[in-house]
Structure 1
């Protein structure tokens, strides 16, 4: 396992657009996000596709891969963050300079469609990657939600800890607003985490956005899910019928026979099709009595605030004390 160096004030953070062109369709949010991280003392370095768009994507497959590789090969850049997700990050996987990442491990962070890159890089190099905030989508939000996302970013990436216990944010939101007309923080809900199980479960964290994983499943870029893993899964803007299909795919592939627990993230704007059922209800129906502990409602997902989760690191869920903690290291001094 490789771990990148911890970030420090003054370090360079490079940003890239592996799928959707957020710097083009959300310029105000993009500038707000960039200014926010700069105010924290970091130097932001633009990827080559900043301000560019090719319809639904930022550029061709080769252009997007080269944008990422340019940042990977720059020794002065210590963190690479996606601007947003989309649908097509998996197209970059055959063209990433994995050898350069092995020689110079750096923090790679994002979520949603960027799951393909996080898992692919981990599978090909052993480098711990981070399911966490994206530049425009996360750091373009207003206070106090953006501050809580940054606190998690700072806690996990700027200090070489050997142990970390997550704290549940008191409030959260998935309220949809028009980004370019947004002038204040979104309305919020009271938060809740659910721990369905007993005792302690320890294992390697693997997973991310479940819909995206379908685009790398069965390839060399999908890490093998092994006995004892903790499976992190979350999704966004899907209907209950699609979620049932995705959970059932895991079932028929035998994934639930191997993992020791499921970490189910919040589902942004879940469409229950009038059933009044939740993603947890669907998962329990698919499991059909199979005894797998579930930690439900974790805030490493499409909602705000967004907590950082290292992929490939050991963690412990204590269902009796209702706590979730990491067993390091995930960054080095």
Structure 2
């Protein structure tokens, strides 16, 4: 199939992250940074060992139940890190459910005036999508402090490699290398996470619709993306390569969400579509998933692949919003190439 015409993303350039630079940490949703001190301190120490300075925002260790502070306090923390001249990149501590509370409270003019990458995933997707849509300042779906940097023995090498390449390199990112490992073992934080988790062999991404397309990247947690439907923060997806991941392997809610995307007309506007790995490797390879995708994306011009290492998976690739990328799916092989530098796109 021919490659569709794509609109320039018009990203605001930002400075690359170098050793010695400062990473600012905030907690826009859950209060786990306060509740798991051993995990938190191990993550901060690991970032410092890698050569970065680390600075927490004023309220990131608050614990007010299901959130780390009020919505106003969490929004103020983001503003604090954006205007701090020493902070080069902002990283979220963990996801949750309530980052969308901040969207009406953010000063998008302030963020546009102090552009720097915001990195996270899960319900941090709400912030990534809204800030990208309103400002075109750089945002990256990528590792968070507690889940990835707090791992025993340090962040997985493949995640670290993608983080450094995406946030620290002014050259085009180029062809992404899919990790050959995956980690799904769960060890309770601050109780049993005192050894490396078991590493398994990872399957390659699975091709559902063949094709080749170039477009600008947008990535999100599926549930969080759909929570923005009907709001001013829904992203411009015309000509996009949309990469989605979900935490459920329950066919009923997953069917409902893909049906909603189809009924909203989202699939008609995309250049390409990719789904991330699910929690269970058997589900990734299952006929049930293949049948569901065929049913709810019937007529999609593709390419369409599943099993991408993004979002709730270890290791993970970093996905820079707005960067031009090519997704190619031929026979059973998938190639994913980012044509821009994330910081200068």
Q: What TM-score, normalized to structure 2?
A: 0.90
1:74 partnered with 2:98:
no
Residue number in structure 2 paired with 1:210: 222
Shift of residue 238, structure 1, vs aligned partner: 5.0
**What is the SS of the residue equivalent to 1:319?**
strand
Shift of residue 277, structure 1, vs aligned partner: 5.0
**What is the SS of the residue equivalent to 1:214?**
helix
1:243 partnered with 2:254:
yes
> 2 CA distance for matches of 1:147 and 1:283?
32
Matched ranges for 1:41-60 at <5 A:
41-60=51-70
Residue number in structure 2 paired with 1:9: 19
Larger CA deviation: 130-139 vs 173-182:
173-182
Contact 1:3 1:329 in 2 (8 A): no
1:254 partnered with 2:265:
yes
Gaps of 5+ in 1: none
From 168, 173, 192, the equivalent of 2:183 is 173
Contact 1:256 1:292 in 2 (8 A): no
> 1 CA distance for matches of 2:200 and 2:207?
19
1:329 partnered with 2:345:
no
Shift of residue 97, structure 1, vs aligned partner: 2.3
Aligned residues: 330
Change (3 A) 1:200 1:270: closer
1:306 partnered with 2:281:
no
Shift of residue 244, structure 1, vs aligned partner: 0.8
> 2 CA distance for matches of 1:317 and 1:42?
33
> 2 CA distance for matches of 1:186 and 1:11?
30
Change (3 A) 1:6 1:280: farther
Gaps of 5+ in 2: 1-10
Change (3 A) 1:48 1:222: same
Shift of residue 145, structure 1, vs aligned partner: 5.5
Shift of residue 270, structure 1, vs aligned partner: 8.6
> 2 CA distance for matches of 1:265 and 1:61?
30
> 2 CA distance for matches of 1:236 and 1:121?
23
From 97, 102, 114, the equivalent of 1:87 is 97
**What is the SS of the residue equivalent to 2:43?**
helix
Q: What TM-score, normalized to structure 1?
A: 0.93
> 2 CA distance for matches of 1:119 and 1:155?
22
1:158 partnered with 2:168:
yes
**What is the SS of the residue equivalent to 1:95?**
coil
1:38 partnered with 2:55:
no
Q: Deviations over 1:75-103 (max 9, x none)?
A: 11110000000000011011112222212
**What is the SS of the residue equivalent to 2:41?**
helix
